[in-house]
């Protein structure tokens, strides 16, 4: 797992549950206390162990942790902006998810986000399928989709089917509310 | 385009043109703008229809007055155009005939400077055709900046960690003084400075009766004595002086400056006196003495350029100290 992803998980755990939880989980998962380095690569198993350990300590299912992580990512302004680039509205954004892997690779080669396929089934129903390389990815994705729906001002039902590596989305209203502002070029503000 | 033999596409309505090329401009055969796409209009900040193309745009390439956009020679070629105004905006353009006697369609794009143009005009994704990669270019620009920032931060962290590790490697854990490694590095630097005309003096110091303290009172007592010696030496030296513990009960000092024996011998005497003050440890008064050998860089023929020669001179002086009576400082002979 790329250091950037691991770092974002570390940041999520620290910000959401506190530095103590992070320290204890890192120790139990046999990670260095200062945590992950952004530009290095780590064994996948370390990441999954970390989440399992954190989940056990928090007495929550790992699935909930993954979804919360997804929602947390959208609270990071630089990440939220990068995601808003993919679509003018939420429908566009959903359709563009089949390029998610490539967009991420363009940014950081080797970051290795799973490939997604997008099936528009009509009536606002969208099925997203991902390859099984990353347990919990679908749940994290569901968290991202929920938060991005709010960001765009869309109303959507989001249902992860983790066991089958897919997420079902039903877009009920692309313009339910105003959503958040997004300017294409944030020069001077970035 | 492959029309299978058709030379002319059926007339494209202006709304369709606006969808496909929101930054296109239709220039009539009289050189006046017949219609302009929604995005170029937004960027220009005014309606463009009716204005002369050459009034609104100037051509950088092909240059100047020769840049007649209606000219058949220019069709299909890259044009570098400039929107006239207080802050000229640069565009890339290409012109193609609009149909018999209809003038040309000039399609425009921002090129590599997209970021500037987009922010100046507060453009959004909706201002570009879905096939236009300008937005992807902006994404790339932004994500690259974010990644570079992460790399820079990583670099800073690595450098700080390296500096910290280097410092630890040069420091004696017990006393906080430089260790032998740190001393050798400092001596090399001082020798280098001496070669450039900055003399210094070198003190080598051995403790007297330290072994006895260790043997009689144990290692913890010995450590307390060493810490006290370190403290005494720090107090007698200036900020620019280096105090090092070479190991065991050996210490060394590097004192930059041209002080001669008349200042250094008394200084060494004060150090020895400070070291001779008893150290309290667990109700006992522990006492050690010290001998010091001094060598001056400018007393050597090479001016201190060779650190080993200077060390040898200080060592020889140190050896001579006990013969002169314990608790003495001896200065090395010149040469």
Chains A, B: CB contacts within 8 A come to: 64
* pLDDT value of residue A165: 94
Q: B-chain residues within 8 Å CB-CB of A81?
A: 142
H runs (alpha helix) in chain B: 14-20, 38-44, 53-56, 114-120, 134-169, 180-195, 210-217, 219-236, 261-276, 307-323
CA distances from B56 to A153, B98, B108 (A): 39, 20, 13
What digits encode the pLDDT tens for the residues A116-156?
A: 999 999 999 999 999 998 999 999 999 999 999 999 999 99
Q: How far is B112 from chain A (nearest CA, A)?
A: 14
The reported pLDDT for the residue numbered B57 is 93
* pLDDT given for residue B334 in this prediction: 65
- pLDDT given for residue B67 in this prediction: 56
Tokens 């050690």 belong to residue = B288
**What is the distance between the alpha carbons of residues B90 and B109, in angstroms, rounded to a whole number?**
9
Give the pLDDT confidence score for residue B6 in this predicted structure.
64
CB distance B119–A183 less than 8 Å? yes
CB B256 within 8 A of CB B210: no
What's the pTM? 0.72
Element (H, E) at B27: strand B24-27
- Please give the pLDDT value at position B302: 81
CB atoms within 10 A of CB A86: 20
Residue B47's Cβ-count burial label (10 Å; 0-12, 13-18, 19+) is exposed
Provide the pLDDT for residue B65: 45
How confident is the model over B279-291, as pLDDT tens digits?
A: 999 988 999 999 9
Residue B164, number of CB atoms within 10 A of its CB: 10
Mutate to test the interface with B, among A185, A188, A189, A190 (most CBs of B within 10 A): A185
Which helix (H) or strand (E) element contains residue B104?
strand B104-109
Rounded to 10 deg, the angle between the A3-17 and A19-28 helix axes is 130
A103 touches chain B (CB under 8 A): yes
Can you spell out the DSSP letters for B49-70? TTSBHHHHEEEEETTGGG--TT
For residue B145, which residues of chain A lie inside 8 Å, CB to CB?
190
What residues in chain B have per-residue pLDDT under 70?
A: 1-10, 62-67, 323-328, 333-335
| B contacts of A92 (beta carbons < 8 Å) | 125, 130
Residue B63, pLDDT score: 60
Asked if the C-beta of A185 comes within 8 angstroms of chain B's C-beta atoms, the answer is yes
Q: Measuring CA to CA, how many Å separate B277 from each of B63, B273, B288, B314?
A: 89, 7, 8, 25
Query: Which residues in chain A have Cβ-Cβ distances shorter than 8 Å to B147?
Result: 107-108
C-alpha–C-alpha distance, residues A13 and A23, integer Å: 10
Mutate to test the interface with B, among A184, A188, A190 (most CBs of B within 10 A): A184
For the question of residue B249 being annotated catalytic, the response is: yes
Q: What is the mean pLDDT of chain A?
A: 93
Please state the rounded mean pLDDT for residues A41-54. 94
For chain A, the helix, strand and coil percentages under 3-state DSSP, each to the nearest 5 = 50, 15, 35
What tens digit of pLDDT does each residue of A72-124 get? 999 999 999 999 999 999 999 999 999 999 999 988 999 999 999 999 999 99
Give the pLDDT band of residue A33 (cuts 50, 70, 90). confident
| pLDDT attached to residue B328 | 67
pLDDT given for residue B267 in this prediction: 92
Rounded CA-CA distance B310/A77 in Å is 61
Of the candidates A38, A85, A106, the beta carbon closest to that of B135 is on A85
Distances (CA, A) of B129 to B36, B44, B95, B126, B304: 15, 18, 18, 7, 75
What's residue A40's pLDDT? 87
Residue B303's pLDDT is: 78
Q: pLDDT grade, residue A188 (50/70/90)?
A: very low
Q: What's phi and psi for B91, nearest 5 deg?
A: -135, 160
């Amino acid at each position: 797992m790329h250091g950037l992803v691991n770092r974002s998980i570390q940041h999520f755990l620290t910000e959401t549950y506190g530095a103590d939880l992070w320290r204890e989980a890192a120790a139990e998962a046999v990670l260095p206390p200062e945590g992950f380095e952004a530009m290095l690569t780590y064994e996948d198993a370390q990441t999954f162990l970390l989440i399992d350990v954190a989940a056990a300590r928090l007495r929550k299912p790992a699935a909930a942790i993954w979804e919360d992580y997804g929602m947390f990512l959208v609270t990071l302004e630089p990440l939220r902006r990068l995601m808003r680039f993919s679509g003018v509205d939420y429908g566009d954004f959903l359709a563009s998810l089949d390029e998610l892997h490539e967009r991420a690779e363009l940014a950081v080669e080797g970051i290795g986000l799973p490939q997604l396929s997008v099936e528009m089934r009509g009536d606002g129903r969208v099925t997203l399928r991902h390859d099984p390389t990353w347990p919990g990815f679908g749940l994290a994705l569901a968290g991202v989709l929920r938060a991005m729906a709010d960001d765009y001002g869309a109303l959507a039902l989001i249902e992860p089917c983790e066991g089958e590596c897919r997420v079902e989305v039903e877009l009920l209203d692309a313009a339910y509310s105003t959503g958040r502002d997004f300017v294409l070029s944030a020069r001077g503000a970035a | 385009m492959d029309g299978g033999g058709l030379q002319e596409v059926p007339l494209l309505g202006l709304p369709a043109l606006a969808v496909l090329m929101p930054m296109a401009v239709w220039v009539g055969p009289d050189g006046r703008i017949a219609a302009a796409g929604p995005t170029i209009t937004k960027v220009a900040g005014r309606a463009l229809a009716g204005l002369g193309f050459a009034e609104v745009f100037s051509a950088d390439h092909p240059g100047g007055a020769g840049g007649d956009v209606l000219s058949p020679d220019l069709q299909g070629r890259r044009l570098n155009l400039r929107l006239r105004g207080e802050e000229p905006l640069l565009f890339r353009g290409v012109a193609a005939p609009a149909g018999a006697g209809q003038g040309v369609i000039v399609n425009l794009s921002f090129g590599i400077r997209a970021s500037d143009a987009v922010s100046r005009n507060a453009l959004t994704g909706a201002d570009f055709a879905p096939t236009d990669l300008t937005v992807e270019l902006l994404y790339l620009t932004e994500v690259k900046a974010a990644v570079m920032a992460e790399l820079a931060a990583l670099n800073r962290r690595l450098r700080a960690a390296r500096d910290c590790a280097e410092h630890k490697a040069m420091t004696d854990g017990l006393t906080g003084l430089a260790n032998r490694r740190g001393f050798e590095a400092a001596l090399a630097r001082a020798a280098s400075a001496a070669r450039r005309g900055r003399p210094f003096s070198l003190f080598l110091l051995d403790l007297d009766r330290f072994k006895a303290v260790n043997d009689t009172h144990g290692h913890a007592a010995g450590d307390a004595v060493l810490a006290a010696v370190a403290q005494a030496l720090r107090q007698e030296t200036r900020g620019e002086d280096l105090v090092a513990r070479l190991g065991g009960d050996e210490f060394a000092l590097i004192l930059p400056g041209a002080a001669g024996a008349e200042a250094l011998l008394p200084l060494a005497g004060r150090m020895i006196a400070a070291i001779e003050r008893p150290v309290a440890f667990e109700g006992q008064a522990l006492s050690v003495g010290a001998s010091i050998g001094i060598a001056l860089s400018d007393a050597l023929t090479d001016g201190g350029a060779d650190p080993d020669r200077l060390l040898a001179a200080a060592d020889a002086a140190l050896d001579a100290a006990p013969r002169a009576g314990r608790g003495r400082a001896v200065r090395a002979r010149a040469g």
